Amino acid sequence: MEEEQNLKPEKNTSENEDDLKSSDTPDEKSENENQDNDELKEKTLEEKNLELEDKLARTFAEMENQRRRFEKEKEEAFEYGGFAFAKEALNLIDNLERSKQILQNDDSLKSSDALKKTLEHFDIIYKDLISIFSKNSIKPIESLNKKLDPNFHQAMMEIENDDKEPGTIVQEIQKGFTIKDRLLRPSLVGVSKKTENKEKKEPENKENIEKK
């Protein structure tokens, strides 16, 4: 009996030792938890740094884009700031050409010295205006005998002409102008077309009359 009693406490002590070995002390647990928390904090800090870097990069990119847009708008404002004024100034040339045509078509002034001198003065004024426009990068569009270009010309009528290829400009109604690389206004023109065969038309008309 005594031997059995002596053996029992030994078992208890061994079990206690195993429990102590398998379980950590409170200090060790707290150290492990602190390590885990530190690792989590480090990860979140890295993520925050990455997010911050991304935001900064986006902000700098947007600032650069805005700067470029501002520079472009400033250049365009400097280059094309007189666009509206230039467009209005073209009325001077239009009125000058109209006045010249009216005088030339006036039968009472034909072959008179007064008409010749007046037309000479008109030509001088016209050349001066074109010269001033050219200095400011406003240039007339070449139209006559050119193929119709929708970017610069606006066809107002078709004129029968077998000497020219169809679509060739044979009349300029109103002169067009450009300012640098922009269209200020298109040229209003008349373009050539082939004459229609009247002999073919007449039988067709007769057939149509007979059917009626």
Instruction: Classify residue 137 as left (phi > 0), alpha (psi -120 to 50) or beta.
Output: left
Which residue type occupies 167? Answer: G
pLDDT in tens, the chain (212 residues): 444 444 444 444 444 555 544 455 555 555 656 565 555 555 677 777 788 778 778 877 887 777 777 677 666 655 666 788 888 889 888 998 888 888 888 888 888 888 888 899 999 999 999 999 888 888 999 999 999 999 999 999 999 988 889 999 999 999 999 988 889 999 999 999 988 775 555 555 556 555 55
- Which fold is adopted by the domain 141-212? Nucleotide Exchange Factor Grpe; Chain A, domain 2 (2.30.22)
The pLDDT, as a whole number, for residue 52 is 79
Residues 157 and 192: their CA atoms lie apart, in Å, by: 9
pLDDT for position 180: 83
pLDDT of residue 190: 94
Q: What are phi and psi of 191, to 5 degrees?
A: -115, 155
Question: Residue 139: which H helix or E strand, with range?
Answer: strand 138-140
The rounded distance, in Å, linking the Cα atoms of 14 and 41 is 41
Residue 193: name the closest of 173, 171, 167, 169 by CA: 167
Do residues 149 and 116 lie in contact, with contact meaning Cβ atoms separated by under 8 Å? no
pLDDT at 36: 57
Q: What is the DSSP letter of 35?
A: H
Question: Model pTM?
Answer: 0.56
Residue of 154, 139, 150 whose CA lies nearest to 86: 139
